[in-house]
Amino acid sequence: MNFTTTDFIRNIPKTDLHVHLDGSLRLSSLIEMARQRGVKLPSETEEGLRELVFKQRYNNLVEYLEGFSYTVAVLQDAEALEQAAYELALDNQDEGVRYLEVRFAPQLHVRKGLTMDNILISVNNGLARAQQEFNSRPQVTYGAEPPFYYGIIVCAMRMFGPAFSEYYASLFNVHQYSSNNEVFELASYELVRATVRIRDEQGLPIVGIDLAGQEEGYPAENHRRAYDYAQKHFLKKTVHAGEAYGPESIFQAITDLYADRLGHGYHLFSPDLIQSQAITNRQGYVDALARYIADRRITIEVCLTSNLQTMPALTSTKEHAFNQMLKARLSVTLCTDNRLVSRTSVSNEIELALRDFDLTPHLLKSIIIYGFKRSFFPGSYPEKRAYVRQIINYYEKIQHAYGVND
């Protein structure tokens, strides 16, 4: 049977290592949460919101991000955060995702007085409930299918809008308008310190830190102190880099912030976007950077649909840098970024890759398994190895059932 069928793709075990909680609500839940909390939406119907906010294509990244103003607005209490996390896990389980890393910025959810502890515990409660329910199924308990696991990634922000900048300037007793970068640096540092404390005190599966937000004008090196702290306290590290800026942003992520993985990495192969006058051989710089990433197995979290929606110059998935990543033999994994805002799923991302790139059954299997291998799995290394082996065995069982050979 053809390994590109929707049925085969949904049944194979999958990961999503790059999915934002606030970009992945169920649309029906967003409407209900907004109604209950008095949050005004542009429309109170799913059809209206898809037409006005959550579109198939966007004109630019700014338009893409408009939807987050509504989702973040409803995720300001423990009940909403737990529900969103629980439903996100269920939606992933329903399409065969067996390992999920949910990321979000806790500092964006403090408007109504929630503490960092409240926020992280609430999100974990939702994910843990979904995990417990799934892993109690007979086919899992008897070992016929692999269990579902998850990890939480905490996002620091490269920058905040005026309201949050003012809040943190006051909190840290610094002059907001004379030293915005200092505000952002202190905010990320305090976030990581709180994250490590909560992880250790509460025993939560907080597995990593991310840096998100506008790249241009807000370099990764401003957050070196936060990532130093994460490094010294055994938090794994991913960084949004090369999404809207050039190779130098990726270089900063892996040198200044010790990135284990890269979010998007789209512009890795864009020598024309290099800004530094000191780099005279731009193509040589890109080639060396790609070789370094390949050699170190720094995994790129590829988000095909999201990039297509936010980059006007990218007119087709076929033009995506994913093809160059494959040719360079980089470690890659397919992710959703935002299930609601991008109107996608892990299965859909895999279908796009199979449709527009020359993937063999063996290469597809390698990409899928790399998601498990390069995950920030919360258990011990022997536990992770055993889980990956269980996943491989199950994948091969599905292949056999569908008549698919490597």
Distance CA 359, CA 365 (A): 10
**Where does 123-233 show beta strands of DSSP type E?**
149-157, 206-212
Instruction: Provide the 3-class DSSP secondary structure of residue 61.
Output: helix
Query: What is the rounded (10 degree) CA torsion for 19, 124, 144, 395?
Result: 20
Distance CA 121, CA 85 (A): 11
Distance CA 250, CA 228 (A): 17
Instruction: Provide the 3-class DSSP secondary structure of residue 16.
Output: strand
Which backbone phi and psi does 123 adopt, to 5 degrees?
-65, -45
Non-local CB neighbours of 245 within 8 Å, separated by 6+ positions: 215, 216, 267, 273
Count CA atoms closer than 13 A to 149's CA, side-chain side: 21
Non-local CB neighbours of 75 within 8 Å, separated by 6+ positions: 21, 22, 25, 33, 81, 84, 109
Is residue 361 within 8 Å of residue 346, measured between CB atoms?
Answer: no
Distance CA 156, CA 232 (A): 17
- Tell me which residue has tokens 């731009």: 282
Total residues found in the chain within this entry = 406
Q: Which residues are catalytic?
A: 243
